[in-house]
């Protein structure tokens, strides 16, 4: 029996990511933070839709107690959101309309 592992589709907007996608993203972008907090992303079902709007207070609420870690996470989330938004704009500008 072959087991297929679900991979993040990089061209898929963040708002469509599952909690597992956000966990995998964190592991790829910030492995050290993932060791400390990836389980919290799964436990609290932090999907991409939640991730793009998460606040520092919400990170604290789910268990990210270290201030520096919260700031690092928020910065990485903002960078990913900008990248995702830019990717969508590029796709829209290059698509052809009939």
What are phi and psi for residue 45, nearest 5 degrees? 50, 60
Structure-token match 């087991």, residue found: 3
Bigger pLDDT: 76 or 4? 76
Domain boundaries, the chain: 15-90
98 burial (CB, 10 Å; 0-12 / 13-18 / 19+) is: exposed
| pLDDT of res. 8 | 46
Full-prediction pTM beyond 0.85? no
CATH 1.10.150.50 assigned to domain 15-90? The reply is yes
Q: What does the mean pLDDT of the chain come to?
A: 88
Instruction: Enumerate residues 6+ apart whose C-beta is below 8 A from 74.
Output: 54, 56, 59
């Amino acid at each position: 029996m072959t087991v297929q592992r679900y991979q993040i589709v990089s061209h898929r907007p963040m708002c469509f990511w599952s909690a597992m996608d956000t966990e995998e993203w964190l592991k790829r972008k910030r492995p050290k933070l993932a060791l400390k907090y990836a389980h919290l992303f799964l436990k609290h079902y932090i999907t991409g839709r939640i991730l793009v709007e998460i606040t520092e207070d919400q990170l604290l609420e789910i268990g990210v107690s270290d201030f520096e870690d919260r700031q690092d996470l928020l910065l990485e989330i903002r960078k990913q959101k900008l990248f995702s938004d830019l990717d969508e704009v590029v796709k829209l500008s290059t698509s052809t309309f009939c």
